[in-house]
Every structure is written in C-alpha cells, then in structure tokens.
C-alpha cells in the first residue's frame, strides 16, 4: 500500500482533529479530490488527495486527533506499508506505573499538585484509574496528606453530579495549550492608563482608531513589535506590523491577522477586518490568515471590563487591551467635567521589553487616541 500521512499544515501545527471524510474505502478517486476535512488550532482545513487511485484504508474516524506525519489514508499499489506505526491519538493506553508504586511522601499532596507529589497507596491509584479520576483533583483526608479510597469515591460522586466532562478540541484545545505555554514561559507585566476620547466625533470606529493608535505606539517604541526566540535568546524587531486581533466566538478564541496595518487606510482596515470576521464565523478563514502576527490587540471592552492583564503568547512580546468606554468625571481646565474615557491595558514580556519602553509605547497610543481625528 502507498501511505499518505498528515502533511505539515504550517506555523508549528503538530496535530489536527478529523472532522469529516469525503471518501470511503474502496472509492476510486482522482488527484486533488477532497479527501478529508480536519480542524486545527487555526481553522478547518480541507486536505486534497495527493494522487489518483483506489482507497484501501482510512485511518481514524471523525473526532480522532492525528499527529503530524501519522497515516491518514492508504492507496492500493506498491509502497511502504508503515501505516500501523502510530496512527491516531484519540485513544491512549493507561499508564500502569502508578499501580506498581508504593505510597510515597512528597511536599504538597493537595489538589492541583503534580502526580509525583501525590501520596496514595497502589490500591487507591488503581481505584482512581477504574473510576477515571485524576488524583491531582482529589482533596486528601488521610494522615500526612495521603489520598484514601474514600477521597477518590467522594470525588467520583461529585463529578457524577456535574455530568459528563467536555473534552477540549480544536480551537479551545489549542487555546489551553497556548495559554499554558505563555504562563510558563513569559515574564509578563502589565501597565494601565486611560485615554480621554471626549474629542472624538460621533460614530467613530473604535477598533480602527485603536489600530491606528497601536501603530503610533510601535513607531515610538519599535521593540514591542517583535518576536523573541527564548531558546536562542534572540529578539527580532520587525519593520512590518502584522496585527493579531482577538475575536471571541462560542468555539473559543481566534486571532486573525491584519497584514501591514501601518500602510493601510481606515477603509481598507475595516473591509479587511469585516471579511476576516465573516470567514471566522463561517470557519472558512485560510490558515495563513491566522499566522505570524507581530503584536496583538484585544478590544475586550466591547463586552465588559475596564482593565485586564491580557496574555502575551510567544513569540510576540506585547498585547494591547482596550476596556469598556464609559463616562467619567475628570478635571478639565480646572473644573469638573464628564468625559468619555477609554481604559487601556498593555501587557508585555519583561524579558525583552523594559518598563520604560512599555510606558512610552502606551503614552504614544494615548496621545494618538486623544486627538479628534
């Protein structure tokens, strides 16, 4: 058989979830005919057949997660028959290591501790596996923080009352992985301030004004429009501003990229943003439009909230958050006045961005926002 494996889908994507097969075993298909739709962290991607021929075998079913380089489809004919080597990871064998361990002492032992820090007898570990309970979620009640069988059974009852858990897939799974990576790697710091936007004319496009102001910030402090290679300890300051704009949908967080925003006018930015949002909602956005942002904007205030500590996702080093626009009493020319205020939160990677650079960036953003036009 000739084996077709999950190809490189770009931008470091290492896995995809099978959404729908467009062929079945025994079908005679042509080259470039739609073979399978898969969902990545970025979008739903349709993978075409690499050749013409008869389908001998399909590996995986809808809902299975396939790793990069794992077999997808076998065609009849001569070729390397290595399809049984590591196909899908939708089902994993349970590690039997814990069943052979004796109860051991380690610091902690409460909820959220790593498995190596949990104290439990082998029989209790076996019970936890039987009931599908993660011991890290169990509050111990035994002497010196030992997890008992009663503790595991209590946790099982509580989880049963909560109902079946939701397995994170697609965008939400990628979001969980990216946020965990950011939390463990980035030395995040946040600076906050307000922009007085009382001079804005009615019906001002808030998002487009924020994009323009962010460009002003990058011009004042180019080091925030950068990528940081932590492994090699190298910073890449980028001339072109490719702006990732956070979009919240029920499926999870999407960050499409508006390219070269410093060179586009307001009408072009708005048209591009509207098109991308429509493509995201239809789950038709091309994967290349979800890759390679150099800095990020989150206009979370359109929903709620004044200030936040947005998360910087490597390799970028900064994200600007815009809070809820509201009326506020301010001192204006020596007297109280009610003005419209736009709260701002700038999170930056303190490994490569200084506090002064971040403050100057934010000052330039505010200066641009406080102009009438």
86 occurs within a structural domain: no
Q: 67 forms bridges with which residues in the sheet?
A: 15
Same domain for 106 and 233?
no
Question: Which residues in 59-187 belong to E strands, given as ranges?
Answer: 65-67, 71-75, 119-120, 146-147
How many angstroms separate the CA atoms of 370 and 198, rounded? 8
Q: pTM higher than 0.75 for the full model? A: no
Question: pLDDT value at position 86?
Answer: 36
Task: For residue 256, give the 3-state DSSP assignment.
Answer: coil
Question: Which residues in 51-163 belong to E strands, given as ranges?
Answer: 53-58, 65-67, 71-75, 119-120, 146-147
42 occurs within a structural domain: yes
If you write DSSP's letter for every residue of 123-137 in order, what string do you get? HHHHHHHHTT--GGG
Q: Which domain holds residue 107?
A: 97-162
**Residue 306 maps to which CATH number?**
3.30.559.10
Instruction: Please say which residue of 25, 44, 75 terminates a domain.
Output: 75
Same domain for 244 and 326?
yes
Domain count, the chain: 3
Q: By the 8 A CB rule, do 4 and 72 touch?
A: yes
Instruction: Please say which residue of 40, 75, 110 terminates a domain.
Output: 75
Same domain for 153 and 186?
no
Phi, psi of 337 (to 5 degrees): -150, 155
Question: Taking the C-alpha atoms of 219, 223, 228 and 230 in order, what is their torsion angle to the nearest 10 degrees?
Answer: -170
81 occurs within a structural domain: no
Question: pLDDT value at position 79?
Answer: 55
Same domain for 69 and 115?
no
Same domain for 20 and 41?
yes
pLDDT digits (tens, 9 = 90+) for 334-369: 999 999 999 999 999 999 999 999 999 999 999 999
- Rg over alpha carbons for the chain, rounded to the nearest Å, is 26
User: DSSP label at 251?
Assistant: T
Same domain for 218 and 113?
no
Same domain for 157 and 235?
no
pLDDT digits (tens, 9 = 90+) for 265-288: 999 999 999 998 888 888 777 777
87 occurs within a structural domain: no
84 occurs within a structural domain: no
Same domain for 27 and 117?
no
Same domain for 360 and 212?
yes
Show pLDDT as tens, one digit a residue, over the chain (373 residues).
899 999 877 656 678 889 899 999 999 999 889 999 888 766 778 888 999 999 999 999 998 888 888 999 999 986 544 444 333 333 323 333 333 333 333 333 334 433 347 888 888 888 998 888 888 889 888 887 888 888 999 888 888 888 777 777 777 787 788 888 888 888 999 999 999 999 999 999 999 999 999 999 999 999 999 999 988 889 999 999 999 998 887 777 788 899 999 999 999 999 999 998 888 888 777 777 888 899 999 999 889 999 999 999 999 999 999 999 999 999 998 999 999 999 999 999 999 999 999 999 999 999 999 998 8
The angle that helices 266-281 and 206-220 make with each other, rounded to 10 degrees, is: 110
Question: pLDDT value at position 78?
Answer: 67
Q: 318 forms bridges with which residues in the sheet?
A: 348
Same domain for 185 and 143?
no
83 occurs within a structural domain: no
Question: pLDDT value at position 180?
Answer: 83
Same domain for 189 and 325?
yes
Same domain for 152 and 25?
no
Question: pLDDT value at position 88?
Answer: 37
């Amino acid at each position: 058989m000739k084996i077709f494996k999950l190809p490189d889908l770009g931008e470091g994507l290492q896995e995809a979830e099978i959404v729908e097969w467009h062929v079945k075993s025994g079908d005679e298909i042509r080259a470039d005919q739609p073979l399978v739709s898969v969902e990545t962290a970025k979008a739903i991607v349709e993978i075409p057949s690499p050749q013409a021929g008869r389908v001998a075998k399909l590996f995986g079913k809808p809902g299975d997660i396939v790793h990069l380089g794992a077999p997808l489809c076998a065609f009849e004919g001569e070729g390397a028959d290595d399809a049984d080597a590591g196909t899908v990871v939708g089902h994993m064998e349970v590690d039997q290591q814990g069943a052979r361990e004796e109860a051991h002492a380690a610091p902690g032992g409460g909820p959220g501790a790593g498995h190596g820090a949990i104290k439990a007898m082998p029989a209790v570990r076996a019970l936890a596996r039987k009931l599908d309970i993660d011991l890290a979620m169990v509050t111990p009640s035994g002497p010196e923080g030992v997890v008992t069988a009663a503790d595991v059974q209590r946790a099982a009852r509580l989880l049963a009352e909560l109902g079946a858990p939701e397995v994170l897939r697609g965008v939400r799974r990628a979001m969980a992985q990216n946020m965990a990576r950011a939390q463990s790697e980035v030395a995040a710091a946040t600076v906050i301030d307000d922009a007085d936007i009382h001079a804005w004319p009615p019906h001002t496009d808030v998002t487009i004004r924020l994009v323009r102001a962010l460009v002003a910030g990058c011009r004042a402090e180019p080091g925030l429009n950068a990528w940081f290679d932590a492994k090699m300890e190298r910073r890449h300051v980028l001339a072109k501003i490719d702006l990732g704009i956070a979009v919240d949908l029920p499926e999870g967080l999407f960050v499409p990229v508006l390219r070269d925003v410093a060179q586009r006018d307001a009408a072009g930015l708005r048209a591009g943003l509207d098109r991308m949002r429509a493509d995201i909602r239809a789950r038709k956005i091309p994967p290349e439009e979800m890759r390679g942002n150099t800095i990020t904007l989150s206009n979370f205030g359109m929903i709620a909230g004044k200030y936040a500590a947005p998360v910087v996702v490597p390799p970028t080093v900064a994200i600007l958050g815009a809070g809820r626009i509201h009326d506020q009493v301010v001192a204006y020319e020596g007297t109280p006045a009610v003005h419209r205020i736009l709260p701002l939160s700038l999170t930056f990677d303190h490994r490569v961005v200084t506090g002064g650079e971040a403050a100057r960036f934010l000052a330039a953003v505010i200066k641009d926002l406080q102009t009438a036009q």
